[in-house]
Chains A and B, each alone.
Chain A
Amino acid sequence: MTSKTAALTPQAYLQAQSRWHPLEIAFWLATLLPFFLFPSYLSLASQIAITALFALSLDIILGYAGIVSLGHAAFFGIGAYSAGLISKFGWGEPLTGLVLSAAIAGIVGYAVSFIISRFRHFTLIMITLGLGLLAFEAANRAHWLTGGSDGLQGMSMWPVLGLFRFDLYGYTAYTYSLVVLFVVFLGARRLINSPFGLALRGIRENWVRMPAIGADSRAHIRKAFTIAAAIAGLAGALLAQTTENVSLESISFQRSADVLVMLVLGGAGRLYGGLVGAVIFMVARDQFSGIAPQYWYFWIGVLLVTVVMLLPNGILGGLSHAYARWRQNERA
């Protein structure tokens, strides 16, 4: 330990843990770059922001509480279909649609959380996988409602705040998605640095000890899962609104698996892990599919295996480790 941290009072130390780092500010400033540098890629940027939001929601339960889910796309899909149907049946106002869709996903998440909070490890993986498949097939079968494999058509979104129309270039889409991502991120950041966030880390670090310190882990897990489901629903709703359609893919196993890959790539249990993972994954997909449209997932596989083998805590974990060592060498 450095003399600097030893001099801090315990309270000051814990306060310092949640202080904004200059790199964080740099990160958020960098999210504005696409407006200037890649104006023709704003649609992609919007999709990245939405995917990052989805990854952030998984990070809350997987990265912080250690609750593995292989069916997280169920909530993304519920949010997407909710937003789609709300718009299709005549209410095209984006913000209320967004909030309503997130609420619906959150309510479903709350119901499911009673099952989730009772299980761990392999059982939980199988349960979430099963629930995800169930949601997919339900959406597939309910052709009359969701359009099944044809996708949900006929959405029509009103301008955001009555002012900004969704344009072909994705200017509004990216602005809208980025603002929602940033606002939710601020909330998630608060949550993670709160006593509740500490309890979630406690569950991740030692599930057995929690009852022995008087903690009701199940109640914590139910709450975290509900919040994560609502945020996933929010991300799904954003995708539906900005693209004005919902495909079956939005609730598929593939999406659940992809978001897991992103989180592992970026570094689970770090607020920026999901965000960085989403950027890398989406840009890699865009680039690789340009090289070999049929086989782009091959390269994602290579990337995943390499990162997991070399950087067990993801890219951010590796970077922060390298940074800590560099700081140590500086001092020596």
Chain B
Amino acid sequence: MSAPDNRPIALATRNLSKAFGSLPVARDIEIDLPVGARYALIGPNGAGKTTLINLMTGMVAPNAGQILLGGEDITALGPQERVRRGLARTFQINTLFAGLNALEAVTLAVAERRGLSREFWSGIGSHGEAIDEAYEILRKLRLGESCYQVTRELPYGRQRLLEIALALATRPKVLLLDEPAAGVPPEESGDIFEAVASLSDDLTLLFIEHDMHVVFRFASHIIVLVGGAIFTEGSPAEIAADPGVREVYLGKRKHG
């Protein structure tokens, strides 16, 4: 089940550490994401999962350690520079352009990647290639029908898909998904992961998810984070059989 080890590493962290005041939220995190990986990041609330994504994407600066994208040290780069090099993310809480419609929002992201957004003398409608590319992304995520609807009026599940569409518009090599199906009813969350799984095989994915059924169904490898440190990692079968994981995470969830 786990990804072949001979694949090159798309994203890695080395001794990544961060503390908010005296509270450590990331402790010596070492992760290797091979190209094309489908990794899940799980752990109880407050384990530091979102913080880890924030560290990787440059939204939070680490106290120590390194982040390597395709072998290159990107620790000193700002968030937008990391995006341009192929590291994208989505947000657990919708972080969308509420007043733009889906087509405008994704076209904006495509235009930024293509360097069109400096253009202030040509109409946005004249950039057919960028628009077609944006529409194609929306269509793939089954948002083609609702692409003229203002984001804030889209059904919640579609807003979650738009989160992913915006990230895809940056044409990422590595995509970090922070609970892509958060707040979506269980019967719909499968659709969102279905859409994610259908993305290109070359795309490297790391996703945070609480629903164990979904995790076991879509992940090839699972990393368990507890108290800001990697508790254990392995294939879904290994994680499911690990009594320690049951205790800190699975067991705990059953009780509440």
Contact = CB atoms under 8 A, between A and B. Distances in A.
- Pairing of A with B: yes
Contacts of B108: 195, 198-199, 201-202, 213, 215
A14 B131 contact: yes
A211 B107 CA distance: 15
Given A10-B134, A11-B131, A195-B119, A214 B126 contact: no
Nearest to B85: A214
Given A198-B124, A199-B111, A212 B88 contact: yes
B117 A201 contact: no
A10 B147 contact: yes
B142 to A, nearest CB: 15
Interface string B120-162: 1111111110111011000000000111110000000000000
A46 B99 CA distance: 35
B169 A14 contact: no
A208 B96 CA distance: 9
Given A197-B124, A205-B99, A211-B78, A1 B117 contact: no
A195 B126 CA distance: 10
A10 B123 contact: no
B89 interface: yes
Contacts of B132: 10-11
Given A201-B100, A213-B169, A190 B120 contact: yes
A32 to B, nearest CB: 27
Contact of B119 (A5, A11, A196, A201): A196
Contacts of A194: 119-124
B148 to A, nearest CB: 5
A176 B123 CA distance: 28
A41 interface: no
A89 B78 CA distance: 49
A191 interface: yes
Contacts of A209: 91, 95-97, 166
Given A13-B103, A14-B103, A215-B80, A195 B127 contact: yes
Interface residues of A, dominant DSSP: helix
Interface in A158-193: 190-191, 193
A15 B83 contact: no
A13 B128 CA distance: 11
Nearest to A206: B97
A205 to B, nearest CB: 4
Interface residues of A, number: 37
A6 B97 contact: no
Q: How many of chain B's residues touch chain A, expressed as a range?
A: 35 or more
Nearest to B112: A215
Nearest to B125: A15
A14 B107 CA distance: 10
A118 to B, nearest CB: 13
A205 B79 contact: no
Given A17-B125, A195-B122, A220-B117, A214 B103 contact: no
B50 interface: no
A212 B57 contact: yes
Contacts of B135: 10
A223 B169 CA distance: 24
B85 to A, nearest CB: 9
A193 B120 CA distance: 8
A18 B117 contact: no
A210 B170 CA distance: 11
A167 to B, nearest CB: 36
A298 B52 CA distance: 55
Interface string A1-43: 1000110001111111110000000000000000000000000
Nearest to B110: A213
Contacts of A11: 125, 128, 131-132
Query: Max chain B CB contacts within 10 Å: which of A14, A17, A206?
Result: A14
A195 B117 contact: yes
A213 B166 contact: yes
B86 to A, nearest CB: 10
B104 interface: yes
Given A194-B121, A206-B96, A214 B113 contact: yes
A211 B83 contact: yes
B33 interface: no
A206 B96 CA distance: 7
Given A10-B131, A10-B135, A213-B169, A196 B109 contact: no
A215 B111 CA distance: 9
Contacts of B134: 10
A216 interface: yes
Contacts of A6: 145, 148
A291 B167 CA distance: 58
B138 to A, nearest CB: 9
Contacts of B170: 213-214
Interface of B: 57, 59, 78-80, 83-84, 88-89, 91, 95-100, 103-105, 107-109, 111-113, 116-128, 130-132, 134-135, 145-149, 166-167, 169-170
6 contacts: A13-B103, A14-B103, A195-B108, A199-B112, A206-B96, A214-B84
Interface of A: 1, 5-6, 10-18, 190-191, 193-199, 201-202, 204-206, 208-216, 220, 223
The 3 closest A-B pairs by CB, nearest first: A15-B125, A214-B83, A196-B120
